[in-house]
């Protein structure tokens, strides 16, 4: 089985934060290239995660968002050069297929939290030129685009700001996959409307089902229905707190399978993908790390026919990335 994972934080939290002491080829986190190769990885989205406020202070980050992105980007480019026998950048779906034919895992660069845009549309084109092909609009704080998911109903209803709508349209125009994970419910519906108008799918790259677990980061049944109707995808997050609530920080394979079955029933099989959040979560995983993904595929095969397991593990993500990124 091949795997296309829509979100990991490895380059940000493992490599860049270590000042280059931790490397992408082999490390003690959830993910490295040796284990990706062992698992059968087709493509991996690497997020440039840009924490701010208290979240930045907690991990000793003092750099402003643009400066932090530049630091992460430098590390990312170094890892691409150092590991060119295993890893190759992908800017489109065509690149992924080309890389696979050459025996390379595809690396896709994303940004988690568009706080660095700071109301400037021109920055989107600059990031596109650097190879960014996925953009998570918000993280856990308000930014110039909109508002994050929140347990407060009034805050959750807030939609995209005018700049946020313009930014989404610019991303769609250039060929950047829009990611609604972390976004408020109101923002989700605004992105869905813009997606319908442009006939371009979007993604919730690392989210789960709110009916199964009442976490504001998860998607309601209505949102899952819209994901399916727009040809978009939801990448299942492996965080135990999004799968089984606050009772345990242990992610069982059955938790992920249950979530996949639920999303299939609400959104359709074409809406399912994987969005591990490797190295961005602290959950203990039953299958260990990225090398254990084949165990997850085997468990999915107990409830889904083989062609549907392929859709979940890589084909749906490849389709959406091909349609949205260019």
Over residues 213-259, the pLDDT tens digits come to 999 999 999 999 999 999 999 999 999 999 987 668 999 999 999 99
Q: What is the pLDDT of residues 186-212, one digit of tens each?
A: 999 999 999 999 999 999 999 999 999
Instruction: Tell me the three state secondary structure of residue 158.
Output: coil
Q: What is the pTM of this model?
A: 0.97
> Which CATH superfamily includes the segment(s) 3-324?
Metal-dependent hydrolases (3.20.20.140)
Distance CA 326, CA 323 (A): 8
pLDDT of residue 246: 67
Structure tokens at 60: 């000793």
Domain boundaries in the chain?
3-324
Label the pairing between strands 41-49 and 284-285.
Answer: unpaired
- How far apart, in Å, are the Cα atoms of 93 and each of 172, 182, 277, 293? 15, 25, 21, 22
Distance in angstroms (rounded) separating the CA atoms of residues 91 and 81: 16
């Amino acid at each position: 089985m091949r795997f296309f994972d829509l979100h990991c934080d490895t380059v940000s939290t493992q490599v860049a934060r270590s000042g280059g002491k931790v490397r992408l080829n082999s490390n003690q986190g959830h993910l490295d290239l040796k284990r990706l190769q062992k698992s059968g990885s087709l493509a991996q989205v690497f997020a440039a995660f840009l924490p701010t406020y208290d979240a930045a202070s907690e991990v000793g980050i003092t750099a402003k968002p643009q400066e932090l992105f530049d630091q992460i980007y430098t590390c990312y480019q170094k890892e691409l050069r150092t590991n060119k026998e295993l890893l190759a950048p992908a800017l489109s779906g065509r690149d992924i297929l080309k890389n696979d034919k050459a025996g390379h895992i595809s690396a896709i660069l994303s940004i988690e939290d568009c706080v660095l845009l700071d109301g400037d549309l021109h920055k989107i084109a600059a990031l596109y030129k650097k190879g960014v092909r996925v953009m998570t609009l918000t993280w856990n704080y308000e930014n110039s685009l909109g508002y994050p998911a929140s347990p407060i109903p009034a805050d959750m209803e807030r939609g995209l700001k005018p700049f946020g709508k313009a930014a989404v349209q610019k991303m769609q125009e250039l060929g950047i996959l829009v990611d609604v994970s972390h976004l408020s419910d109101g923002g989700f519906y605004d992105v869905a409307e813009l997606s319908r108008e442009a006939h371009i799918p979007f993604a919730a790259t690392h989210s789960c089902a709110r009916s199964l677990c009442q976490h504001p980061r998860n998607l309601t049944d209505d949102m899952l229905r819209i994901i399916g109707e727009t040809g978009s995808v939801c990448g299942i997050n492996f965080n135990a707190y999004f799968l089984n609530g606050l009772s345990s920080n242990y992610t069982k394979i059955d938790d992920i399978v249950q979530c996949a079955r639920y999303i299939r029933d609400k959104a359709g099989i074409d809406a399912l993908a994987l969005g591990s959040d490797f190295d961005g979560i602290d959950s203990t995983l039953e299958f260990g790390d990225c090398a254990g993904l084949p165990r997850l595929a085997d468990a999915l095969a107990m409830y889904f026919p083989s062609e549907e397991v392929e859709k979940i593990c890589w084909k749906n993500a490849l389709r959406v990335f091909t349609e949205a990124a260019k």
